[in-house]
Amino acid sequence: MGRFLIEGGKKLEGEVKVSGAKNAVLPILAGTVLSQGECRIGRVPKLRDVKVMKEVLESLGAVVKEENDEMVVDSSNLDSYEIADSLMRKMRATVFLMGPLVARFGQVKISQPGGCSIGPRPIDLHLKGLKALGVEFVQKHGCLEGKAKNLKGAEIHLDFPSVGATENIMMAATRAKGKTVIYNAAREPEIVDLQNFLNRLGAKVRGAGTDVIKIKGVDKLKSIDYQVIPDRIEAGTFLVASAITKGDLIVNDIIPEHIESVIAKLVEAGVNLQVDGDKIRVKGNISWDGVNIKTLPYPGFATDMQAQLMTFLSIAKGTSVVTETIFENRLKHADELRRMGANIKIEGNSAIVQGVNKLSGTTVEATDLRAGAALVLAGLAAEGETIVENIYHIDRGYERLTEKLSNLGAQISRTD
């Protein structure tokens, strides 16, 4: 299952360039199904989840070539609208293919996606939106089959600004007859990136980044080249890595406004942080203050940065309250941090974090992608050696993490 060995106490110094955004490239790769030609996607991170998406596209009949950090997807001969259960089980983001497949074939067949360690992850909002566009679903033998004679534009009100549901509905609506309006749409930067990609294909999507997105259906979508945005969560993780190791790190080639909420919290905690164009420099201080965090849909504080901040706050001066409102079960990293000496009490969906002087290295277990990242940060700051188990979770969202951290002065290695 793979493990990281980390010798703590080393300051991170130098510069790091983050990779393309996992949560932008996955829906965009799914969206190449709409083009019926060849699309060249740039700044594609080499991640486990991207590898699975490539397998899924190939299982549908696409020809996918990797050229450095580009992925060329030729979906002209796509001949299936069915995603194998084995692939669905590997990654729930295969759900993003529902919209494009019903738009292209008027049909889709997937197995009911499972939950994962951070929560049950239902897809009721995805189904509600697609049904509004005219898709009829039948559930049998654990499979979900969707059929639509023709997709018709509709007004859709999302009960919750779900990122995935917004993206699936956007992609299906590009080929629906007439106009679709999504109310209470998710506003994440990855939604804006998907809109820009779809419009380059020839779709007519407006309003991404706000809570109302309008889509006018078109008959055909062409093939194009497109470069995805930098990964805001990887960027935020490195900012915390510099602050927690009292280092001096420049994270470059990023879009700072995508992590405004994280920047504001780090500054509130007393971190010395300078934004300069597409770079952010963090010079770690000797100490920092506890702050309260409450995760919210964008532009609120990103749930994908909650675990990393909890690690940072576990050795802050004073007490912090970290409240997770997006996922039902995303505080499990607290148990592992406690094993390293953190003083954290869970009350409902909040963690009361009393800052301690230091964390001490031991063996801990990654339970999901961002919890794993939080434990790497803890190992970088802890006294002695930390072993992080089950690092396949971390490989899903961080490209060449060992190499990037070692280049900055960390003492980290991996054994698979």
Nearest to 316, CA basis, from 406, 244, 222: 244
Per-residue buried b or exposed e for 152-187, using 16+ beta carbons within 10 Å of the residue's own CB: bbbebebeebbbbbbbbbbbbbbbbeeebbbebbbb
Asked if 205 touches ligand EPZ (CB under 6 A), the answer is no
List the one residue from 4, 81, 288, 327 that touches ligand EPZ (CB under 6 A). 327
- Residue 26 engages ligand EPZ in binding (rule: CB under 6 A): yes
- For residue 286, the minimal CB distance to ligand EPZ (Å) is 31
Contacting residue, 6, 326, 377, 391, with ligand EPZ by CB under 6 A: 326
Q: Does 304 bind ligand EPZ (CB under 6 A)?
A: yes
**Does a cis peptide bond (omega within 30 degrees of 0) precede residue 27?**
no
Stretch that binds ligand EPZ, among 65-73, 114-122, 235-243, 384-392 (CB under 6 A): 114-122
Query: Binder to ligand EPZ among 73, 123, 192, 208 (CB under 6 A)?
Result: 123
Nearest of 123, 158, 154, 155 to residue 139 by alpha carbon: 123
Tell me what percent of the chain is helix, strand and coil, each rounded to the nearest 5: 35, 30, 35
Tokens of residue 390, six digits? 């089950």
Q: How far is the CB of 289 from ligand EPZ (least distance, A)?
A: 27
Measured CA to CA, the distance from residue 391 to residue 224 in angstroms comes to 35
Q: Between β-strands 225-227 and 38-42, what pairing exists: parallel, antiparallel or unpaired? A: parallel
Out of 63, 72, 116, 275, pick the active-site residue: 116
**Is residue 191 close enough to count as binding ligand EPZ by CB under 6 A?**
no
Judged by CB under 6 A, the residue of 165, 169, 266, 353 near ligand EPZ is 165
The answer to the question of residue 397 lying near ligand EPZ (CB under 6 A) is: yes
DSSP assignment, residue 11?
A: P
Query: Does 124 interact with ligand EPZ (rule: CB under 6 A)?
Result: yes
Residues 6+ apart with CB under 8 A from 160: 125, 184, 297
48 binds ligand EPZ (CB under 6 A): no
Shortest distance, position 409 Cβ to ligand EPZ, whole Å: 26
The verdict on whether 116 is a catalytic residue reads yes
Closer CB to ligand EPZ, residue 57 or residue 165? 165
Tell me if 158 contacts ligand EPZ by CB under 6 A. no
Q: Find how far residue 396's CA is from the centre of its chain.
A: 10
Closest C-alpha to 381, from 280, 317, 286, 312 = 312
Interface ranges with ligand EPZ (CB under 6 A): 22-23, 26, 93, 119, 121-126, 160, 162-165, 186, 303-304, 326-327, 369-370, 397
Instruction: Report, as residue numbers or ranges, the catalytic residues.
Output: 116
